[in-house]
Amino acid sequence: MPSAHQFENDGTGGTITREFVQYWSHRYQLRPLEVDVLDVVGPAVAKRGYYKRGELQKVVRWKSPRSITYIDRNSDSDIEHLTRIALAAPERLRHRILCLLDGVGVPIASALITACEPSVFTVIDYRAIETLRAHSELSQQPNCTSYLQVCRDLANRVETDLRTLDRALWQWSKARPPGSRG
């Protein structure tokens, strides 16, 4: 198994391995809000079939706290109706429907979907994209469907779940020195 020293100094190149994912996911600091979103909010929303305002706000605070003021522009009715339609829609359309809500772009839409089904979906994030590109796992700017497929394939290849993979990808990017970004 590669040493921790190798991963700490690993700049770019090479494909992502199981050891890489284990190393970086263990360095990810799990926050209480993330635990609440994934263990309480997501299952409640999945069971009910739609988001309520407070639940939507929690997910937005987890993914992108700066967007909360835009989210508050949505009516309770729009939140319920659009999230109900999105969560029942075919996978390839869910992000598009959620983006009809004020303040929801693709990253937040992916977080809303992931909260409900973290074993099936993952969050689209610039940090994760940076890590995938730096390790030759992703060559172009992905759309939602292609990003999800890359992550699912990678998680299968390295024998991990999507949440663990996402945390490793995010943490590797976060840990990079500022001057090392492409």
Classify 21 in phi/psi space as left (phi over 0), alpha (psi -120 to 50) or beta: alpha
* Residue boundaries of the structural domains of the chain: 4-29+122-176, 32-116
Model-wide pTM > 0.85: yes
**Whether the Cβ atoms of residue 164 and residue 17 lie closer than 8 Å to each other:** no
Band of residue 5 on the pLDDT scale cut at 50, 70, 90: very low
- pLDDT at res. 123: 97
What are the pLDDT digits (tens) for 109-147? 999 999 999 999 999 999 999 999 999 999 888 889 999
What are the pLDDT digits (tens) for 37-74? 999 999 999 999 999 999 999 999 999 999 999 999 99
CB within 8 A of 154, min separation 6: which ones? Answer: 16, 132, 137, 165
